[in-house]
Chain A
Amino acid sequence: MIIVDSRGDVAMVHVAVDRLDAAASPAFKQAVASQVDADTAKLVLDMRAVEFVDSTGLGAIVSLMKRLPPDGVLVIAAPRHPVRRLLQITGLDRLFRQFDTTEEALAAIGG
């Protein structure tokens, strides 16, 4: 479901499903809760493998952001076109900065 890779104070979460939808979201949230330290403040969500996200999947990403402390930051790396478009349609592109690669995302949030 996810692979977590710590880079300094940044948690790199590689999402290893092609669909983050109503069926996959509960397991995604559970995996994040068990594998990402509760005090993590910087998180890169690597979405390169994800072809499709629905509103429940978006909700799961939003709840991941809400887990972070007030000064926390969540950015999205390598979103594919449908995911990028969904973020744009829902206005969440204004809340989640997006980067073409994980390296760019890490550099931007200081990993």
Chain B
Amino acid sequence: MSAAEIPLRVLVVEDDDIAADYLCLLLGQNGCTATVAGNGEEALEFLRELRFDLMLTDWMMPKMDGVELIRRARELLQHYLHVVLLTAPGEERTMRTALEAGADDFLYKPISATQLQLGLATARRVLGLQQRLERKNRALAESTRRVRAAYRQLKSDLRAAGTMQRSLITVDGVTGFLAHGSYLQPSIDIGGDSFGVLPLEDGTFFFAVDVSGHGVPAALNSFAIHQRVVQLARSGTDLRGIAEAVNRELMDQPGESYATALFGVVATDTEISLIRAGHPPPVIVKSCGKAEFAEDGGLPLGMFEAAAFDVLQLRFEQGDLLLCYSDGVMESGMGEDELLAFCASARTSGVEVAAALGQKLSELRGGTDPPDDISVLALSRV
């Protein structure tokens, strides 16, 4: 149906019966159904009860004039009503007031058939546009509702996944010679950092991994690496074998996926064996309070097939502490010198150091989410 054929429901507000009858006749000839109200109050009653597309109202009426009726009709109605004021030529001031009150168009009395046809054509065009706009608004509101629902679902899933990730990898306690504490703060709900401590037949194995990127892809990859490292360690693979296997498997993955990692074993009560694959150098804190970085290390995992991973041996005696951390620590605003100073002054157990560092990093960020995933694994020799 074209705009010109839209049947309009018209409310005619006219206190003169003859004029009202004439308008109804013309409206009927132009495909409209007309209802007549003899005054403003009656018109408002009709507007409360029935739905109209167009209101044609006289200006000069007893009790309530046309301008007042328009103002009150606009206050009353939620939907669009096309409003035409019937007035006399030369009433510019009235027209301006009526426009401010909500009139859309004006017809000059006496109304001719042609004048009314032109007014109806305008009304039909505006009402057609209004209907299209309302349809689009409804579709937009529905889309927004769906997007919000999807976002809420996604956020809820991410939170649940984050909680699961934490419960899988958070390790606080004592294993063999090691008291270990940890701190994990992904940049969004889940992240690519992971770590673990597990007892083996010949010592205590620990590791920390940071997969490139953030969010779900990094978390999935990190989880897979975590499981693989645990499997390799439990099957008796040595540190170099673990690093080489993970490096090779990341190289074989489609796309580009990199990770930095630390793998270590405490097999005796005086020494720690360590491989650092691109991961930030861990801090070793001696019981006397001296703190330094264990700098020696090799390339990240997943970058080069032929990467070599050398094992570093460090003295690790009663009261010593090893702090492993991801580069998110530096991105939180703690420089390497500050980290060393923090470690040197925090001569307590791994559990307490990890918690204190987590607290300190949170303060540095002012409680906001970190720009990069942060993980800390603190190991103290008991």
List the interface of chain A (C-beta within 8 A of B).
22, 52, 54-56, 58-59, 62-63, 85-86, 89-92, 95
> Which B residues lie within 8 Å of A62 (CB)?
258, 303-304
Does B289 reach chain A (CB closer than 8 Å)? no
A59–B212 touching, CB < 8 Å: yes
Q: Which of B256, B280, B281, B297 has the most CB of A within 10 A?
A: B256
* Interchain CB contact under 8 A, B258 and A55: yes
Q: How far apart sit A92 and B304, CA to CA, in the bound complex (Å)?
A: 11
Chain B nearest Cβ from A32, distance in angstroms? 14
B279 neighbours in A (Cβ, 8 Å) = 89
**What is the CB-to-nearest-CB distance from B222 to chain A, in angstroms, rounded to a whole number?**
12
Closest CB of chain B to A71's CB: distance in Å? 17
| A36–B344 alpha-carbon span in the complex (Å) | 48
Contact B298 A55 (CB under 8 A): no
Q: Is the CB of B212 within 8 A of A91?
A: no
Q: Chain A interface mostly helix, strand, loop or mixed?
A: helix
With A55-B210, A56-B213, A59-B212 as known contacts, state yes or no: A91 contacts B298, CB within 8 Å.
yes
B327 within 8 A of partner (CB): yes
Minimal beta-carbon separation of B78 from chain A (angstroms)? 44
Which residues does chain B contribute within 8 Å of A95, judged by CB atoms?
Answer: 299
Q: Report 8 cross-chain contacts, Cβ distance below 8 Å, ordered by A residue.
A: A55-B258, A55-B260, A56-B212, A58-B212, A58-B258, A59-B258, A63-B256, A90-B260
Q: Are B298 and A89 in contact (CB under 8 A)?
A: no
- CB-based contact A22/B212 at 8 Å: yes
Rounded to whole Å, the gap between the CB of B192 and the closest CB of chain A is 9
CB distance from A91 to the nearest CB of B (A): 5
Cβ contacts under 8 Å, B297 to chain A: 89, 91
In the complex, residue of chain B having the shortest beta-carbon distance to the beta carbon of A85: B336
B300 at interface by CB-CB < 8 Å: yes
> Which A residues are in CB contact (< 8 Å) with B210?
55
Task: Say whether B213 contacts A90, CB under 8 Å.
Answer: no
Contact with A along B50-67 (1 / 0, CB 8 A): 000000000000000000
Residues of B255-281 whose CB lies within 8 A of A:
256, 258-260, 278-281
B215 and chain A: residue at smallest CB distance? A22
Query: Is the beta-carbon distance between A55 and B300 smaller than 8 angstroms?
Result: yes
Pair A58/B300 contact, Cβ less than 8 Å:
yes
C-alpha spacing A56/B214, complex, angstroms: 10
Which residues of chain B (214-261) have a CB below 8 Å from chain A? 214, 256, 258-260
Closest 6 CB pairs of A and B: A55-B212, A90-B278, A56-B212, A91-B299, A59-B258, A22-B213
Give B325-337 as 1s and 0s: 1 = Cβ < 8 Å from A's Cβ atoms: 0010001000010
Residue from A54, A55, A59, A86 with most neighbouring chain B CB atoms (10 Å): A55
Query: Taking CB as reference atom, which chain A residue is nearest B257?
Result: A59
Residue ID in chain B nearest A90 by CB atoms = B278
Q: Are A90 and B300 in contact (CB under 8 A)?
A: yes
B320 interface residue per 8 A CB criterion: no
